[in-house]
């Protein structure tokens, strides 16, 4: 019996020892995995090009990566210190941290840099600040914008010069005939009429160009849409008696510069009526309707005209682009510019059946 008991005890001891060794082995494996994970986390944390700062709920720095440390000089411990002490440029944003948009930009005068940053909550653990130096990116963006402005100015100058050539050529030819010798009175009057007509064309062109290049600041007021549009529709009916101008407008009020809105709508209406009037057969209709939504309000002018080519749909708002023999191509360009002055957008789209629809959309500001 003693031998049997000894063997049982010895077996139990061996089993217990084997179990302890298995537990120790598993603990060692978990410890190694934890160390690898911590090492990987440390490498990722400090390997980021983006500066990363961890903050407690009171704005004290609990940790920061190598990129953020480089921004403060890379020497001395900053953990436990206040964010606004180490990074004073972020002080106003820390005060407004609960109302900040997702992405922000701050100009650091002390460091001579521009930072793009994001300040996000970590629940009860505090906050995380991510920021990057975007000074060079902004400089390149300014260069690109400046180049785009120069190209736009060059295009405008070329377009203006092209549009001025024809009336100037007419004036020159008329004056040369005047100087050539004796002319009959009737001929002289016709030449004088040509000169006056071309001078008027030049005057209108320069006026439109100045309005496009430097539109007046908007003077906003409340405009009742129905009487405003009824007056313009009646004018169009008198000018284009073959065109049926239909108003489907609700009793809405728009906050807009009255002169600007009149210019936009009258220009779009006139274009629509001209397009419809050129059709050899009916229907010759221009429909004006509005939409009032919770976030935006829109005014649409839909016509049953011949429509536009795909190329013209893309370019109709470009300066000096027109299909009219006597047009300057500035009407729609000015209209879109005036719309933008009032925080609105003027767009065009082809209808599924015939014609096009111009839509003026303005977000509600209240």
DSSP state of 333: H
Task: Give burial (CB, 10 Å; 0-12/13-18/19+) of 117.
Answer: buried
Report helix angle 225-239 to 258-277, nearest 10: 40
What CATH superfamily is the domain 48-133? PAS domain (3.30.450.20)
**Are 341 and 215 a contacting pair, CB within 8 Å?**
yes
* String of DSSP letters for 175-238: HHHHHHS---HHHHHHHHHHHHHHHHHHHHHHHHHHHHHSPPPP-EEEEEHHHHHHHHHHHHHH
pLDDT of residue 246: 92
Rounded Cα distance, 60 and 54, in Å: 8
**48-133 and 220-363: same fold?**
no
Rounded Cα distance, 159 and 163, in Å: 6
pLDDT of residue 159: 66
For 138-213, which CATH class? mainly alpha
pTM: 0.54
Question: 216 CB contacts (<8 Å, ≥6 apart)?
Answer: 259, 260, 341
Q: Can you tell me whether residue 8 is helix, strand or coil?
A: helix
pLDDT of residue 44: 54
Question: 125 CB contacts (<8 Å, ≥6 apart)?
Answer: 56, 57
Q: C-alpha angle 131/147/154, rounded to 5°?
A: 155
pLDDT of residue 227: 93
pLDDT of residue 255: 92
Kindly list the strands in the beta sheet with 356-363, ordered across the sheet, starting from the edge strand earlier in the chain. Answer: 244-248, 285-292, 296-303, 356-363, 345-350
pLDDT of residue 248: 92
Query: Maximum Cα–Cα distance for the chain, whole Å?
Result: 153
Structure tokens at 190: 């016709």
Query: What are the domain boundaries of the chain?
Result: 48-133, 138-213, 220-363
Q: What is the pLDDT of residues 67-87, one digit of tens each?
A: 888 888 765 678 888 988 888
pLDDT of residue 286: 92
Report, as ranges of residue numbers, the positions in the chain whose pLDDT lies below 50.
40
CATH node for 220-363: 3.30.565.10
């Amino acid at each position: 019996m003693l031998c049997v008991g000894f063997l049982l005890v010895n077996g139990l001891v061996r089993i217990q020892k084997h179990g302890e060794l298995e537990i120790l082995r598993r603990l060692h494996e978990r410890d190694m995995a934890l160390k690898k994970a911590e090492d990987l986390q440390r490498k990722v944390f400090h390997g980021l090009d983006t500066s990363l700062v961890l903050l407690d709920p009171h704005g004290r720095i609990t940790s920061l990566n190598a990129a953020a440390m480089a921004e403060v000089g890379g020497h001395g411990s900053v953990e436990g210190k206040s964010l606004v002490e180490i990074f004073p440029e972020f002080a106003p944003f820390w005060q407004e941290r609960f109302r900040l948009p997702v992405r922000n930009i701050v100009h650091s005068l002390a460091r001579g840099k521009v930072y793009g940053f994001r300040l996000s909550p970590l629940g009860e653990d505090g906050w995380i600040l991510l920021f990057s130096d975007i000074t060079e990116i902004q400089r390149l963006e300014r260069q690109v914008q400046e180049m785009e402005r120069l190209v736009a100015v060059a295009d405008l100058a070329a377009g203006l010069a092209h549009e001025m050539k024809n009336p100037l050529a007419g004036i020159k030819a008329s004056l040369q005939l005047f100087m050539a010798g004796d002319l009959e009175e009737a001929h002289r009057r016709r030449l004088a009429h040509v000169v006056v007509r071309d001078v008027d064309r030049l005057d209108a062109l320069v006026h439109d160009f100045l309005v496009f290049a430097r539109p007046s600041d908007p003077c906003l007021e409340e405009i009742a849409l129905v009487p405003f549009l009824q007056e313009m529709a009646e004018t169009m009916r008198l000018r284009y008696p073959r065109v049926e101008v239909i108003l489907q407008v609700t009793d809405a009020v728009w906050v807009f510069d009255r002169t600007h809105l009149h210019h936009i709508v009258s220009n779009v209406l006139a274009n629509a009526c001209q397009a419809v009037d050129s059709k050899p057969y009916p229907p010759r209709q221009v429909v004006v309707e509005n939409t009032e939504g919770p976030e935006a309000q829109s005014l649409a002018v839909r016509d049953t005209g011949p429509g536009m080519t795909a190329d013209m749909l893309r370019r109709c708002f470009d300066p000096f682009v027109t299909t009219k023999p006597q047009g300057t191509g500035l009407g729609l360009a000015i209209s879109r510019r005036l719309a933008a002055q009032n925080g609105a957008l003027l767009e065009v789209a082809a209808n599924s059946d015939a014609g096009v629809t111009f839509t003026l959309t303005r977000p509600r500001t209240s």
